[in-house]
Amino acid sequence: MDHLQHILGEPITEPEEEAFLIFSQALPSQSLGFIDSKTSPVEITVAGRDLTIHQSRGLLTSDRKEGTTGAVIWKVTPLFAEWVASANFLFGTGLLSSDSIALELGAGVSGIVAVTLGPKVEKYLATDQDYAIRLLKQNIAENAPTPVSINKTKTSKSKKAKLGAEKTVSSIDTLVLDWETDSVAVLPTLLDLSDGVDLVIACDCIYNYALIEPLNTTCADICRLRTNSPMKPTVFLIAQQLRLPEVFEDWLKSFHRLFHVFRVPDQLLTEPLREGSGFVVHIGILRSPGSCD
């Protein structure tokens, strides 16, 4: 963690103050934050590549109680994807490399982060609830820069972890994982992850109070899977659009209890993610039991 402090500065010690500072800046009006919820497919350019992304307006407007927000592209996703796959400090410091394993929570149907960052790492796991997986696989297969190779892998039918995995393109897997209900305990066996993952990504996954504890707890559980490399802990990277200050503050207080938290400073971000953009990026490193600021 000392290495991160050298790059990012001191970790956040007062989440309430951090929330206040973030929402004190002038924020643009971005409504809910869809790119275009009525069009499919959507043509979009990310990191110099033209992508064709299929959405599902029908899913978004359905009454599915488990949620449908992953059925469309959110504004922060392509901006974050372009930054995280660029020559940023994560690669410059060795926190990410071509040997890394990354897991995304709440990937939605677009697969934009997967097809942008996936080819730069050894393995990329794009996860979401089962309703999103069909379009997620299609978008990855049609937009990934490497040939498609679909091979079924083992799945677990555990009542507690209804997980299904399928290889969709060279280094990119899709996985059914509902972080509100599923256990991550079977991930190492299911996906042959002997020592967890190097990076966990969540992009615009917090938009109401009910999601806060399940997401933060799941992230902590995934980080705890790394047991053989204590000197290189799993990094959790979360990008968000700034909407409701009360929800954000509650998320940050919960996150801070579990993680050492750093806000990625403007000088390390691309311009569309910097202060005043309406977006923010944080990094978390899991706390040791009993640790405190």
Residues making up the chain, counted from first to last:
293
* CATH of range 2-286; options 3.30.420.40, 3.40.190.10, 3.50.50.60, 3.40.50.150: 3.40.50.150
> Collapsing DSSP states into helix, strand and coil, what is residue 262?
strand
pLDDT tens-digit profile, the chain (293 residues): 677 888 999 999 999 999 999 999 888 766 656 656 667 788 999 988 999 998 886 655 445 455 556 678 889 999 999 999 999 999 998 889 999 999 999 999 999 999 999 999 999 999 998 888 999 999 999 998 865 443 434 444 444 444 545 555 558 999 899 888 888 887 877 777 778 999 999 999 888 899 999 999 999 999 999 877 777 899 999 999 998 999 999 999 999 999 999 999 999 999 999 999 999 999 999 998 766 56
Give the model's pLDDT for residue 147.
53
Largest Cα–Cα distance in the chain? Answer: 49
∠104-203-82 over CA atoms, to 5°? 90
pLDDT in tens, 179-216: 888 888 878 777 777 789 999 999 998 888 999 999 99
Give the model's pLDDT for residue 157.
43
Give the model's pLDDT for residue 159.
41
∠24-29-30 over CA atoms, to 5°? 115
Tokens of 228: 């053989």
Tokens of 239: 């990008």
Give the model's pLDDT for residue 155.
41
Give the model's pLDDT for residue 165.
54
Give the model's pLDDT for residue 187.
83
Tokens of 233: 């802990």
Question: What letter does residue 11 receive in the DSSP assignment?
Answer: P
Give the model's pLDDT for residue 152.
39
C-alpha to C-alpha distance for 181 and 178, rounded to whole angstroms: 6
Question: What letter does residue 194 receive in the DSSP assignment?
Answer: B
Neighbouring-strand partners of residue 129: none
Give the model's pLDDT for residue 55.
85
CB 108 within 8 A of CB 132: yes
Give the model's pLDDT for residue 231.
77
* Other beta carbons less than 10 A from residue 84's beta carbon: 25
Element containing residue 17 per DSSP (H, E): helix 15-24
Q: Which H, E and C letters describe 91-159, residue by residue?
A: HHCCCCCCCCEEEEECCCCCCHHHHHHHHHCCEEEEEECHHHHHHHHHHHHHHCCCCEEEEECCCEECC
Give the model's pLDDT for residue 20.
96
C-alpha to C-alpha distance for 157 and 135, rounded to whole angstroms: 22
C-alpha to C-alpha distance for 117 and 165, rounded to whole angstroms: 19
pLDDT in tens, 47-91: 889 999 988 866 554 454 555 566 788 899 999 999 999 999 999
Peptide bond into 289 cis (omega under 30): no
Question: Token pair 């997986």 is at which residue?
Answer: 133
C-alpha dihedral sign at 283, 111, 222, 32: positive
User: In this structure, what are the phi and psi dihedrals at residue 183, rounded to the nearest 5 degrees?
Assistant: -90, 145
Question: What letter does residue 35 receive in the DSSP assignment?
Answer: S
> Collapsing DSSP states into helix, strand and coil, what is residue 275?
coil
Query: What one-letter code names the amino acid at 176?
Result: V
